[in-house]
Structure 1
């Protein structure tokens, strides 16, 4: 990560100088100084602090992702997807609903609902909560294996 850098202006401009950028934790300090040490900097406004994240967002807006310095700016590592069930982000289909409903209705009444939901979740690659919620959507009572919530017409 960049900790400190100095940007020089072109010498043939009206006010040659340097812009110093230093980052300390979450704060970025910008300091302007003239190239000629005998020429005093304008009073006030020569040094100011900004949140480093704001500066990062401004630089990202100015540069596209192909700019060579963009990767040096972000100190945060890329996020990894949260671990979860194999089919946790796969949408439910009518076929999957039928499979779930058949597995629920064809089970023994003596099987505890918690155990059966765990078995079905493992077989279908889903979480227990998604199976329980989907059972209610397909018309099954998620508390009692083999029972429907309402009679189908």
Structure 2
């Protein structure tokens, strides 16, 4: 074994001290020498007691993927991966955000005045499906542009009433 490169790092985070050694090496005793990466970690608590130790011996070709998987696994296991995700490029800016009373009133006004679902979705920066789902909540009929939902029979005061006043 011959070491090509070695990096040693000591990091203090919170009450712990971490010592990380990353060594790149080639196994010269093999028929086909392949570059390897050896990662060694030791960590001590405030009193010097060991809180972490271990090592990985990896083929260079998989080192980056293993680092990503270990990072993701640790974040997931500790609950630290609860950071907001970046919004995908094609997703409307307001998608998934809560509605307020002013927005509901504006949605109702735009629907009753005859705007299309696509126009309203563009105005509110939401998806057409989100607009169609919200329309009944403000009393509008998503199947009939410009119309309110009929008053359900259980809420009618006049037996012949079918539309709100």
Higher relative contact order (CA 8 A, sep 6+): 1
